[in-house]
């Protein structure tokens, strides 16, 4: 689904920073420290944009969804 949405397997951080609840600038700062929940990289020089692998981002989002479903089930007495 991410590949269809973004049209590539390598997603610019500027296009998906909102998925981490961050502004583009804050996400870029964290990317430089590798402190986002997924690895980031630059495909060229230090002036190249930060990128995220679509598969890694999909795995992260799937885990977030599983945690939310688990929390919801606990709060609603479902197992």
pLDDT in tens, 6-41: 788 999 999 999 999 999 999 999 999 999 999 999
Average pLDDT, the chain: 93
What pLDDT is recorded for position 78? 67
Residues of the chain with pLDDT > 90: what percent? Answer: 81
With 0-12 CB in 10 A as exposed, 13-18 as middle and 19+ as buried, what is 54? Answer: buried
What DSSP element (H or E) covers 26? helix 24-32
Least confident of 6-10, 60-64, 72-76: 6-10
């Amino acid at each position: 689904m991410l590949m269809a949405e973004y049209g590539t397997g390598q997603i610019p951080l500027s296009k998906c920073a909102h998925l981490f609840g961050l502004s583009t600038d804050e996400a870029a700062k964290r990317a430089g420290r590798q402190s986002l929940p997924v690895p980031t990289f630059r495909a060229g020089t230090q002036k190249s944009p930060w990128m995220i692998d679509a598969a890694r981002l999909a795995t992260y989002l799937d885990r977030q969804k599983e945690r939310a479903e688990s929390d919801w089930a606990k709060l609603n007495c479902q197992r």
